[in-house]
Amino acid sequence: MEMNSANVEAVVKQVLESMLDKNIPSPSAPAASQAIPKTAHVAMLTSLEHYDVKEFPIPEVGDGDILVKVEGCGICGTDAHEFKKDPFGLIPVALGHEGTGEIVKMGKNVKVDSAGKPLKVGDKVVTCMIFKDDPDIEMFDLNKKNVGGADVYGLLPDDDIHLNGWFSDYILIREGSSVFNVSDLDLDSRILIEPCAVLVHAVERAKTTGILRFNSRVVVQGCGPIGLICIAVLRTLGIENIVAVDGNQQRLDFAKRMGADKSVNFMEYKGIEALSAAVKDAFGGHLADFAFQCTGAPAAHSNIYKFIRNGGGLCELGFFINGGDATINPHFDLCSKEINLVGSWVYTLRDYATTFDFLKRAQAIGLPMKELITHRFPLEEINEAHRTNLAQKGLKIAIVNK
């Protein structure tokens, strides 16, 4: 058929009408099934090692609030400590701080996220910290002040709202909270944002020593999710000479997939001298330039100094609760070796923003980040999920809603 101007106009009109068909939902709009219920289901830790899934009314959404339908949340080591011992004295408490979900309702004053990116219903989000009125904590002022004194969803005392943690099907993000639009990341990546931010921050702290460089020899001790992510962050920076140390061979094998060049299983060596010699051999006869201590074991902290060369560096990030005292010899371990030691605690807002780019970079170079999530449980099986986590049957255990 000959296409004259009238034909072209008719075709264009037909295409535009089909694009504007109101029966076709907008990609950013919530589906019809996203009708907001009157109540939410919240997994409340009501006693040691026991959750009850309780039902609470969904409150009114204030002008600065955001109601999020939870899609998933990872189980953190901190959740495990709270599950077993309640070290923060929070029971009863709604836990879960590695969560993500979709905005289903928001107050009229909510326009942008904490990085200035526009927000709308249907966007996927994560939260960082709930900052108190403290002008010393700013978005792009790295390390100006440690944010450990801020609050976090999933570790809040229970109140009359109850929708305070991500182990739920809805969470109410209150005015003044930090929130980020991460609609360009898939669910698994979004669940991993919080633990990855911990390691982005740790590596930034390590870089302040001036020792961690492109060609550094780096040892990572502890190959749970934190240590494995540490290796991935280092690998995305181009650092290749990485030795992983752990007592679980399966985790050491995964460490190599995440970017470690060599691994050392401490179960195969008796005594710290033999172990440090094995680490030295793995580096071709050299001690490490820099070390990351990623376990919560005081003995591991005591030992790691033996892996580091004179003038080397150490980042300690394994102790998110009081795990007990570690014994070192200040002369031999610190002074005579002139070790540069930094501690790392959670993250800053800027680290969160950097983490989004890290996850994209890790995927681009083929690191198996999503395979860190080895087990997924529905909310009603949260007790079994925590028992699986405590038994170390996998790596990252997640609660994923249908």
Q: What are phi and psi of 20, to 5 degrees?
A: -95, 5
pLDDT in tens, 137-178: 655 554 556 666 678 999 999 999 999 999 999 999 999 899
- The two structure tokens encoding residue 349: 């807002």
Q: Which of 164, 134, 161 is nearest to 149 (CA)?
A: 134
Section 23-32 average pLDDT: 38
Q: pLDDT: is 402 or 333 the higher one?
A: 333
Q: pLDDT: is 334 or 22 the higher one?
A: 334
- pLDDT confidence of residue 102: 98
In order of their start, the domains of the chain are 32-186+370-400 (3.90.180.10), 197-343 (3.40.50.720)
pLDDT in tens, 297-331: 999 999 999 999 999 999 999 888 888 999 999 99
- pLDDT confidence of residue 402: 82
Long-range contacts of 244-247 (CB under 8 A, 24+ apart): 244/219, 244/220, 245/219, 245/220, 245/221, 245/275, 245/279, 245/307, 246/221, 246/222
Do 196 and 347 meet the contact criterion of CB atoms below 8 Å apart?
no
pTM of the entire structure?
0.88
On the question of pLDDT at 18 being above 60, the answer is no
User: Collapsing DSSP states into helix, strand and coil, what is residue 179?
Assistant: strand
